Amino acid sequence: MNTGASGDWQPAATLEVLKLRARLLERTRAFFQARDVLEVETPILSAATSPEPHIESFHTIYVGPGFGRGKKLYLQPSPEFAMKRLLAAGSGPIYQIGKVFRNNEAGRLHNPEFTMLEWYRPGFDHHALMGEVEELVTTLLGDRARRTKTEKLSYAEAFEQHAGIDPHAAREEDFAACAKKFLVRAPDTMTPHHLDDWRDLILTHVVEPQLGKDRLTFIYDYPATQASFARIRPGSPPLASRFELYLSGMELANGFHELTDSDEQELRLRHQSLERKHHETGSVPIDERLLAALAAGLPDCSGVALGFDRLVIQAADAHSIDGVIAFPIDRA
């Protein structure tokens, strides 16, 4: 990161990369236009936000007509909730390319403000949507994404293949032994109560670097505890109809066969909200408008969010997100 003052006015990305970025945006829009998917825009400033445990929203205070004393508004970490309201209102297939904001995230592959491509497909399950994600990404990246046939692994298969562990059955001591075997020194603050932290540790340190080598790798069927807003299929273990896309060890997209049961959705939101209270980050208001929309009826659909900056990283062979953004946070 450049911290010197003198050169800071200049863009971090080269003009060549910025032109490539513009071309990729054009081709993305053409892809969806050809498929009759409607481009939409939803608010960046919103009264509610996602209560998901590992997502921190920025907020600001709106003062103006009707809100003389100020109203807290959240900068959206994802356009998901608003887009679901459009779906419930009968929009049909929709996509959006827009800025999203996540506090507490900065690094080689993270900028607190980034560009998300998100789209929803009524009538698709998560496997059908994975197919469309593959088509889009290979259209945009060409040979980079299809040197070898696209790989599809269940979450369990990915862990078994690359870490030699069953992520659904493993207990804390099993994850700890696995970390040790791969020379990963686990943080001292890990606890047996949060097995998903252990899964994330093994995923990020051991499994992810092996995914998407010269091809696209989809991971699907996540532990029910990581369902977020995906539907859960009962069974042993119960599995969430959720997927992620990887290329060159980098997470590019996350998708769900969306939960449409509004009661279940409300339970999850309230549970997440409650969980947040135990964190220092505090609770956030429940999006009652989302719940009302779901109660009115969300069509059976799948949705996916793709980190557009990361797609540009792949297309440009850049080392970091700073290389594909005109003004990353330390120059913003």
Residues that bind another protein (CB under 8 A): 52, 54-55, 104-110, 183-190, 194, 196-197, 199-201, 203-205, 226, 228, 244, 251, 254, 280, 305, 307
Count of other CB atoms within 10 angstroms of residue 242: 26
CB of 62 to another protein, least distance (A): 27
Helix (H, G, I), strand (E, B) or coil at 51: coil
Structure tokens at 109: 């592959």
CB of 242 to another protein, least distance (A): 8
The Cα 319–Cα 328 span in angstroms is 14
**For strand 94-101 and strand 38-39, is the pairing parallel, antiparallel, or unpaired?**
parallel
CB of 6 to another protein, least distance (A): 20
Our CB check for another protein shows the closer of 50 and 150 to be 50
Handedness of CA 61, 62, 66, 69 (dihedral sign): positive
| Cβ burial 141-172 (10 Å sphere, 16+ → b, else e) | beebbeeeebbbbbbbebbeebbebebbebeb
Structure tokens at 216: 């696209």
CB of 189 to another protein, least distance (A): 5
Our CB check for another protein shows the closer of 219 and 294 to be 219
Our CB check for another protein shows the closer of 24 and 306 to be 306
CB of 281 to another protein, least distance (A): 9
- Crossing angle for the helix pair 288-297 and 262-278, to the nearest 10 degrees: 160
Our CB check for another protein shows the closer of 67 and 182 to be 182
In the chain, the DSSP E strands lie at: 38-39, 45-46, 58-64, 67-75, 94-101, 113-122, 151-154, 217-223, 232-233, 239-247, 250-257, 301-307
CB of 99 to another protein, least distance (A): 16
Our CB check for another protein shows the closer of 77 and 93 to be 77
Our CB check for another protein shows the closer of 58 and 92 to be 58
In sequence order, the 6+-apart residues with CB closer than 8 A to the CB of 250 are 109, 208, 212, 310, 313, 314
In sequence order, the 6+-apart residues with CB closer than 8 A to the CB of 169 are 237
Our CB check for another protein shows the closer of 47 and 106 to be 106
Our CB check for another protein shows the closer of 73 and 155 to be 155
Q: What angle do CA 195, 198, 200 make, to 5 degrees?
A: 110
The Cα 108–Cα 12 span in angstroms is 13
CB of 63 to another protein, least distance (A): 29
Q: Distances in Å between the alpha carbon of 239 and those of 21, 91, 172, 220, 231?
A: 36, 29, 20, 9, 8
Our CB check for another protein shows the closer of 59 and 205 to be 205
CB of 103 to another protein, least distance (A): 11
CB of 92 to another protein, least distance (A): 26
